[in-house]
Amino acid sequence: MTRSQAREAARDILKIVPVVMRTVAAELRKSGELPAPAHFGLLAMVKVQPRTLTELATLQGVSLPTMSNSVSAMVQRGWVKRSSPDRDRRVAIIELTEAGREALERVGRAAEVRLSEQLQSLDDKARRRLQSGLAVLTTVFSAAPLAACPPERPRKRTKVRTSS
């Protein structure tokens, strides 16, 4: 693929992915299951493995305070829990709870039903082309180092100077 073709493919992906995600988000809102569609992705990430707040913020491209607010909302719903390794309160590990696993499965099924309704009108040829394209995307993006996050480093404590 030429650079120009790759750019065109990238533009096409960037056009359709938000449309697909809006469709899924609408289904999530309709079901009343999630207060924010972003929580679906967060639950999926911590299902794979527990993560630190910093890792989640990095993966989502948001600030630590924003991620902390999202995690707090999910803790209140009982979907995730925070823990501290070795009682180090500077690092919060976010883990999926059984309630979170169940919510993720319910929402995933609802989103899958909605998307399948959208795709039912495809004929066999279009379905095969779609599945081939998705297989290519899966191959390309599975190789990407998305899961590799920088390790969380303890913050340096600074001395507060007081004037005398």
Domain spans, the chain: 3-120
Please report where in the chains the tokens 């925070």 appear, as a residue: 82
Angle at 131 between CA 9 and CA 25, to 5 degrees: 75
Residue 39 tokens read as 């929580």
Closest C-alpha among 18, 105, 74, 62 to residue 26: 18
- List, for residues 96-118, the tens digit of each pLDDT value: 999 999 988 888 888 888 888 88
CATH architecture of 3-120: Orthogonal Bundle (1.10)
pLDDT band at 147 (very low <50, low <70, confident <90, very high): very low
Give the pLDDT score at 80.
Answer: 95
Residue 22 CB neighbours (<10 A): 11
